[in-house]
Chain A
Amino acid sequence: MHEISLLENVLEILEENAKSQGFKQVKKVCLEIGMLSCVEPDALRFGFDVVMKNTLAENAVLEIKQTQGLGTCKHCGQTVPLETLHDPCIVCGSPGVVVTQGNEMKIKDLIVI
């Protein structure tokens, strides 16, 4: 369950931003999670309320935007969609596709008071 550790990291970033941007309460947290990152959105949703309890983000809404996996084939140079880290290139069948999108684990923005 490293999702709990990730959420503890999210909370730290919220607290840092609360100081630097001058807000007291977080109403909504928007995360960007790539389909190829090793994060399970359901596990994040499950842990979110637990980790945010008694913090500045208690009762905040969690929104998760998932980005599709994309990669560039080392063999033919095409940009191709990826569902897993080990998908071969759908154009030439070569296994060496370098991931260019889909590994994201980011806090995009917040709604705060």
Chain B
Amino acid sequence: MCGICGCGQPEQTAKHSHHHDHSHQQHDHYAERLVQVEQDILSKNNRYAEQNRDYFKQHHIFTLNLMSSPGAGKTTLLVETIKTLQGRIPIAVIEGDQQTEHDANRIRATGAPALQINTGKACHLDAHGIGHAVMELELGDHSLLAIENVGNLVCPSSFDLGEARKVVVLSVTEGDDKPLKYPDMFHAADLMIINKTDLLPYVDFDVERCIQYARQVNPDIQVIELSTTKGNNFSAWTNWIEENI
């Protein structure tokens, strides 16, 4: 049985007999009634997220939830982040993809522990899966946990994982109007990383307009422009981590 949530526990099958002063036919078994529920659909996920958040707080684990569309450069960003912060902050990674271990293998090649969650048909990670992954990873205290969510600018924004900060990565090859097209994601994010800025000369992407759109959706969103592969302004990101940790 799972120690976090009790999943896998066999259903209790309490067989009992009881005495009746009346026949079963006398019961009004088929009367319809109204049941007030007033419960958030995501209440269960949110409960797990709070458990995760408590655990992270207790163990001083700074947790980031990285989200983007597929191909924005999340894994490369994490690989370079691990290399840059090596020896300063212990980092572990949870990778979310529908299929394959590819991303976890790329992280492990840096020497950092990584756990791959394959969501199958699901388009996002949820707090329950993160709770299990955290137990399996055996994270050290005073560390950084990066959760790379499934590449998708829609669904992951709704599911709290218990993270300290939500980071959305947008690459300049995707178009500067993404914050208006996918407002929920940019509304939920604390930080927007504009990645692949070395490609700006070759694409029609207006950085100022992109930031203006993002602030229209979320006036408080922080922004870092960088190129992971060329290293341009990469230290702004690692400084941001060290300031927030």
**Which residues does A use to contact B, with CB under 8 Å?**
1-2, 5-6, 9-10, 12-13, 17, 21, 23, 27, 31, 37-38, 74, 84-86, 88, 95-96, 105-113
Bin chain B's interface residue count. 35 or more
4 A-B pairs closest in CB distance: A2-B155, A38-B184, A86-B217, A107-B37
Q: Does B208 contact A (CB under 8 A)?
A: no
Determine the distance from Cα of A84 to Cα of B36 in the docked complex, in whole angstroms: 29
Q: Do A86 and B216 touch across chains, with their CB atoms under 8 A apart?
A: yes
Q: Do A5 and B34 touch across chains, with their CB atoms under 8 A apart?
A: no
Select which of A2, A27, A37, A109 is within 8 A of B36 by beta carbon.
A109
Note all chain B residues with C-beta closer than 8 A to A31: 41
Note all chain A residues with C-beta closer than 8 A to B29: 113
Note all chain B residues with C-beta closer than 8 A to A21: 35
Note all chain A residues with C-beta closer than 8 A to B30: 113
Q: Do B35 and A112 touch across chains, with their CB atoms under 8 A apart?
A: yes
Q: Does B124 contact A (CB under 8 A)?
A: yes
Note all chain B residues with C-beta closer than 8 A to A110: 34-35, 37
Check A12/B37 contact, CB under 8 A, given A5-B122, A27-B32, A95-B216. no
Note all chain A residues with C-beta closer than 8 A to B122: 2, 5
28 pairs from A and B in contact (CB 8 Å cutoff): A2-B122, A2-B158, A5-B155, A9-B41, A9-B44, A9-B45, A10-B41, A13-B43, A17-B35, A17-B37, A38-B157, A85-B183, A85-B184, A86-B180, A86-B187, A86-B216, A95-B215, A95-B219, A96-B219, A106-B38, A106-B39, A107-B38, A107-B41, A109-B35, A109-B36, A112-B33, A112-B34, A113-B33
